[in-house]
Chain A
Amino acid sequence: MADPVVEHGAEAGGAAMPQLNPDYFSNQIFWLLVTLVVIYFILSRVALPRIASVLAERQGTITNDIAAAEELKQRAQEAEAAYEKALSDARAEAAKIVDDTKAEIQTQLDVELQKADAEIAAKTAESEAAIAEIQAGAADAVKTVAKEAAKEIVAAMGGTADARTVTAAVTARMKG
């Protein structure tokens, strides 16, 4: 530094730059040491452990949360699997019930059908008997009518018809 600085420094402390004035050194060094010791104790006793614990706690919280989320996801997957299983079980159950019911209905149906068939057969037999009876009745009636008519015709032609002859003739005719 130039001469004027020396002049200026001289009036203030003695050296050109205040930084180089040895009168100030002890004061600065003393207060610096005090400051450093104070800061060191505050930091190492209070501030740094506290920040470290906060950071560790946060890390722990994050890890726990991630684990919890993982577990919840796992549980959700399990629940989904259980749901799927329940659903398929229910489907199988429903299918089984449907099959059972179908089979039951089928057996019932078969029974009913047999019964109905038997009934129908009985009815048919009955009807056939009735028809046979009616046919027989009709044949008798025809025979009677034919006998009457033959007797009348014979009488009208002037002959006397023997009842037995007429009957035989009519029977023979009807058989033919």
Chain B
Amino acid sequence: MADEAHSGGGLEFHPLDQFEVKALFGDGPIHWYTLTNVTAWMALAVICIVLLLVVGTRKRAVVPGRTQSVAEMAYGFVYTMVEDVTGKDAVKYFPYIFTLFIFILFSNFLGLLPMSFTTTSHIAVTAVLALGVFLFITILGFVKNGPAFLKLFWVSSAPLALRPVLAIIEIVSYFVRPVSHSIRLAGNVMAGHAVLKVFAGFAQVGFLIAPFAILGVVAIYGLEVLVAFIQAYVFTILTCVYLKDALHPSH
């Protein structure tokens, strides 16, 4: 896909360049502590979150202003999700789930800015998020239920003969969860951004193709705005579903 030198105008596609991790200062090797564009865009996400949720609500108005309304809407959105999907006893894990949601949401949307770097398009990032959820839920499940947590894999409503088979399937699916959880998010975001870049590359081609390429960019961009929200939503709601398993393991 990349580096296809066109005979006519030296057309070049670099759809994956946008995902490069670069040091902010200098060209040195990237250590774990190096300030990189990852750092910068994550810090920007933190700043935006603070602006929305802390600065936006500083007046504590009973009749909210615009920013406070949005902050309350986000709060209410995730709160009802946790309450409806997981149950009332999960409300104490709400800050953790809200952290995941707001981080993914802001990373996705900041990634839609032109020239930006999308932190959630990296499997390393989403894998840490998903593994965090996986470990959190597994540990919580054992702490809350003890060995009874293993009933999650023992489908007591199925015929006895089928149960061992189902148990194997359940266990496999349980361990596949973090994989699908992380790849879904990174894959969606990455694919969308790469396609945007490819369309943008075609915009160099000429009068015949450029208009369609630009229209395509606009259309895909609209789709990506939708995807940015939906993927944050999906990640959060799946976290809630998994958390429900940990709190109420019996089927």
- The one of B46, B75, B121 in contact with A19, judged by C-beta atoms closer than 8 angstroms, is B121
Could you mark each residue 56-71 of chain B with 1 if its beta carbon is under 8 Å from any beta carbon of chain A, else 0?
0100111010001001
A55 & B95 in contact (Cβ 8 Å cutoff): no
Is B144 located at the chain interface by the 8 A CB criterion? Answer: no
Q: Binary interface profile of A, 47-64, with partner B (CB < 8 Å = 1, else 0)?
A: 110111111011001000
Question: From residue B143, how far is it (CB to closest CB) to chain A in Å?
Answer: 19
Q: Is the interface of B mostly helix, strand, loop or mixed?
A: helix
Segment touching A, from B36-44, B218-226, B234-242, B243-251 = B36-44
Pick the contact of A24: B71, B94, B124 (CB < 8 A). Answer: B124
Is A4 located at the chain interface by the 8 A CB criterion?
yes
Interface size on A, as a range, is 35 or more
Please state if B49 and A39 are interface contacts (CB–CB under 8 Å): yes
Is B3 at the interface (CB under 8 A from chain A)? yes
Determine if B213 is an interface residue (Cβ-Cβ < 8 Å): no
Q: Mark B21-52, 1 if CB is under 8 A from A, else 0.
A: 10000000111111010110011011001100
Point out the residue from B38, B49, B102 that lies within 8 Å of A27, measured CB to CB.
B38
B64 touches A54 (CB 8 A): yes
- Judge whether A27 and B21 touch: CB under 8 Å: yes
A32 touches B125 (CB 8 A): yes
A-B contacts, 11 of them at CB < 8 A, read A1-B1, A21-B21, A35-B43, A39-B49, A39-B99, A39-B102, A42-B53, A50-B60, A51-B57, A51-B71, A52-B75
A23-B29, A30-B32, A48-B94 are known contacts; what are 11 more A-B pairs with Cβ within 8 Å? Answer: A13-B20, A17-B16, A17-B19, A18-B19, A39-B103, A42-B53, A43-B53, A47-B53, A50-B60, A53-B60, A54-B60
Question: Footprint of B on A, CB under 8 Å?
Answer: 1-2, 4-5, 7-9, 12-13, 17-21, 23-36, 38-40, 42-44, 46-48, 50-55, 57-58, 61
